[in-house]
Amino acid sequence: MTGSAETAPASLDFWAHTGVIDEVARGTNLGATGWADNTSYNFALSYTASLIEVAVNGTTELSYSIADNGGVAFTPGAFGLYNYSQDYVRYAGITEEAATVRLPTSLPLLLGGLGGFAVARWRKAG
């Protein structure tokens, strides 16, 4: 969902997904169902400038890409937990971890090639 709770004129915007609130995607498997009573769920949110993914109990429920967003990159913002009509929901153990940045697999080959080129050139000049 997009929109601001601060600018929503009434809570009905949330219930009906209208007004300043816009539903942009829904969970693949759980998007049309409620949550089971007295059940724990594990959520994982992954955010980059080009992709937002949400997994529930290890299953990807939402994958929203830059293409889905009209080609516009995602800017830093906030993440909110929205229960819709579920009462007595508790959230616990929320943590934030920086994603690891993986080097492209071709980078070591490129660096090795450049190093070899530099050594060959040095030998030729010497």
Helix (H, G, I), strand (E, B) or coil at 22: strand
Pairing of strands 59-65, 43-47: unpaired
pTM of the model: 0.64
Residue 7 lies in a domain: no
The answer, yes or no, to whether residue 15 has pLDDT greater than 80, is: no
Q: How far is CA 78 from the centre of its chain?
A: 11
Residues 6+ apart with CB under 8 A from 98: none
State the residue range of the domain holding 78: 12-125
Domains held by the chain: number = 1
Residue 34 lies in a domain: yes
Q: How do residues 65-116 score in pLDDT, each as one tens digit?
A: 999 989 999 888 777 777 766 778 888 888 888 767 666 667 777 777 777 7
Residues 14/82, Cβ–Cβ less than 8 Å: yes
Distance CA 68, CA 113 (A): 39
Residues 17/1, Cβ–Cβ less than 8 Å: yes
The answer, yes or no, to whether residue 35 has pLDDT greater than 90, is: no
Residues 62/46, Cβ–Cβ less than 8 Å: no
Residue 66 lies in a domain: yes
Residue 3 lies in a domain: no
Residue 70 tokens read as 């009209």
Residue 6 lies in a domain: no
